[in-house]
Amino acid sequence: MTKKPRGYELTVIIGATGVGKTSLADATIQKWIKDAAARGAYEVAILDPVAQFAHLGECASWPGRRADGTMDPKDEREPEERAEAWIRAFRLARSRHGLNAPPCLLVLDDADVYMTGSQPRGIWRDLFMTFRHWKCDILIIGRRPQTLPKDAFQSASRVAIFTSRENYGVAYLSEFIGATNVKQVPRAPYQYLLVDLTAQAGETYPAVLLKTKKRAVTVAADTR
Amino acid sequence: MSTTNAEKSSSAPTLPGVDTTTTTTTTTTTESVEPVIVPPAALTATEASAVAPKRGRGRPPKNKTTPGNAATGAPMPTAATPKRSKKKKTPAASDAEPGLFSDGGAVTAAEVQAQIAAGKTPPPAMLMQLPAAEMAQLAIGVGDALATNFGAMRYGESAAAILALSDQEKDMLQVPVAAWIKDALPKLTPIEGIVLILGMLYVPRVGALEIQRLQARKAGRVAA
């Protein structure tokens, strides 16, 4: 039996290195695929600077990285340029479907590498403002909340927050998730606070403390 | 395809006996890097077993205790009874790993249109997932329904409310509503289109007010 349809959503995963972000993202991607496959056609695209999702196949890519995992030495673009080229190509590829585009999961891993905390411009702003019309669910994974666009948090349905090594990073989040929830962010690794931002503003956003399982993740040596 | 340009620069001030001629190498990569957005074939459905926990509202029920024990004649607790510690316990993290996206799959245009065809009213959140082009098609369909039912039906009332915005638009009551919408929609932004459709489908009077506000804002912009 297929489940009821829902709107497109944006989710953010935040936390320090090695606390379980990728493990949670991996489980989330696979659950998304399982749900989507039960309802028909779907697509997955992962902007993957450090090849953490290489095990998912060719849907995980990073401009300039060759099929064998090495980087093209002639490609000297900055990460921001690579990411922008990728997302433009992604939009073009989606638009080719016309009206029959299947639902898509767009994963932006290590977003700190190519995004900034300032107001997004150009195609990034377009993405965060209109991703529902791109027929995309979005999963953003980053280390520091203050280096991700505010628009991402403001458009998010949920935020999963792992422990941070800098107090300011967690405090910064209070603007989006509320001071009460910030105090509940766990200190231990492989635990995270899942905050539901779909509640109406003015209320305390409901949050739940959860654990994620540690999974082996292969990281490419040449990440650039 | 990559191109490399090497050029010599000798504009820097020279010192006797020192060759300051430098070589600047600029690499421009024009290779198109397109993200591959495909279903990852390697995945199986067995890997995702996360289930979103049910979230209840309000406090859990308190243990019902009766003051004193009627059967044994035990006295009621007095002020001497040691109070319970008010120290808050840190909530334990749950092992349940929920999907970071809502249960169910992302909506498709076909599902929205199937609901409308079946005489059901799709929720606004579902309607808002549609790309602008699909909204236009939907609006034209709604407009046709308005034209068909114009006059006596409840939609007629909503159409009158929406269209009675100005003298000029009052005249439009004489023309088929579908034609008006067909003419008006391309001039609207997606958000205005959504407001228009919501206005017609769900809350005719509120929708009309919103349209008025939009028009007032537009007029203000033009005047400014």
**Could you report the per-residue pLDDT of A31-67, keeping only the tens digit for each?**
999 888 888 888 999 999 999 999 888 899 999 998 8
**B190-201 and B204-223 helices cross at what angle (nearest 10)?**
150
- Find chain B residues with C-beta within 8 A of A103's C-beta: 105-108
Please state the length of chain B. 224
Residue A43 vs residue B110, higher pLDDT: A43
- What domains appear along chain A, each with residue ranges and CATH number? 10-211 (3.40.50.300)
Q: Tell me what pLDDT residue B220 has.
A: 65
Q: Tell me what pLDDT residue A53 has.
A: 92
B119 pLDDT band (50/70/90 cuts)? low
Residue B33 vs residue A199, higher pLDDT: A199
Residues 21-50 of A with CB under 8 A from B: 24, 27-28, 30-40, 42-45, 47
Residue B1 vs residue A100, higher pLDDT: A100
Mean per-residue pLDDT, B124-132: 57
Beta-carbon separation of B40 and A59 below 8 A: yes
B39's tokens: 């279903």
B164 pLDDT higher than 70: no
Task: Tell me if chain A has a CB within 8 Å of the CB of B73.
Answer: no
Beta-carbon separation of B35 and A139 below 8 A: no
pLDDT in tens, B165-208: 444 444 443 344 445 555 665 565 555 555 566 555 544 444 45
Q: Tell me what pLDDT residue B165 has.
A: 41
Which residue in the set B35, B53, B106 is minimally distant from A103, CB to CB? B106
DSSP β-ladder status, B2-9 and B22-29: antiparallel
Helix, strand, coil in percent for chain B, rounding step 5? 40, 10, 50
Task: Tell me if chain A has a CB within 8 Å of the CB of B75.
Answer: no
pLDDT in tens, A138-157: 999 999 999 999 889 888 99
DSSP β-ladder status, B2-9 and A207-211: unpaired
CB pairs under 8 A between A and B: 198
- Backbone phi and psi for residue A61, each to the nearest 5 degrees, phi listed first: -150, 165
- Distance between CA A96 and CA A99 in Å, rounded? 9
**B154-163 and B177-184 helices cross at what angle (nearest 10)?**
40
- Find chain B residues with C-beta within 8 A of A139's C-beta: 100
- Distance between CA B134 and CA B173 in Å, rounded? 25
Mean per-residue pLDDT, A204-220: 74
For tokens 């890519």, the residue is: A61
Residue A214 vs residue B211, higher pLDDT: A214
> Could you give the count of Cα atoms lying within 13 Å of B24 in the half-sphere of its Cβ?
8
CB contact set of A3 (below 8 Å; sequence gap of 6+): A35, A38, A39, B103, B104, B105
Which residue in the set A27, A45, A90 is minimally distant from B50, CB to CB? A27
- Find chain A residues with C-beta within 8 A of B40's C-beta: 33, 44, 56-59
Q: What is the CA radius of gyration of chain A?
A: 17
Q: Tell me what pLDDT residue B169 has.
A: 45
Q: Tell me what pLDDT residue B146 has.
A: 44
Tell me A120's DSSP state: P
CA B11 to chain centre: 56
- Distance between CA B170 and CA B94 in Å, rounded? 60
- If you average pLDDT over every residue of chain A, what do you get? 86
**What sign results for the dihedral spanned by CA atoms A88, A89, A91, A96?**
positive
- Find chain A residues with C-beta within 8 A of B108's C-beta: 5, 39-40, 102-103
B26 pLDDT band (50/70/90 cuts)? very low
Task: Tell me if chain B has a CB within 8 Å of the CB of A137.
Answer: yes
- Distance between CA A159 and CA A141 in Å, rounded? 10
B153 pLDDT band (50/70/90 cuts)? very low
Task: Tell me if chain A has a CB within 8 Å of the CB of B59.
Answer: no
| Closest chain A C-alpha to B130 CA, distance in angstroms | 6
Q: Tell me what pLDDT residue A5 has.
A: 73
Task: Tell me if chain B has a CB within 8 Å of the CB of A123.
Answer: no
Best probe of the B interface among A26, A30, A46, by most B CBs < 10 A, is A30
- If you average pLDDT over every residue of chain B, what do you get? 50
SS3 B18: coil
Best probe of the A interface among B31, B46, B101, B116, by most A CBs < 10 A, is B101
H helices present in A106-202, as ranges: 122-130, 150-155, 167-177, 179-182
Mean per-residue pLDDT, A194-204: 77
Contact B144, B116 (CB under 8 A): no
- Find chain B residues with C-beta within 8 A of A52's C-beta: none
Contact B9, B21 (CB under 8 A): yes
Q: Tell me what pLDDT residue A204 has.
A: 80
H helices present in chain B, as ranges: 109-117, 124-127, 132-149, 154-163, 167-171, 177-184, 190-201, 204-223
Q: Structural domain boundaries of chain B?
A: 123-223
Task: Tell me if chain A has a CB within 8 Å of the CB of B126.
Answer: yes
CA-wise closest residue to B145 among B194, B100, B197, B183:
B197
- Backbone phi and psi for residue A163, each to the nearest 5 degrees, phi listed first: -65, 150
Q: Helices H, strands E: what count in chain A?
A: 6, 8
Best probe of the A interface among B30, B36, B100, by most A CBs < 10 A, is B100
Which residue in the set A5, A28, A30 is minimally distant from B106, CB to CB? A5
Q: Tell me what pLDDT residue B21 has.
A: 40
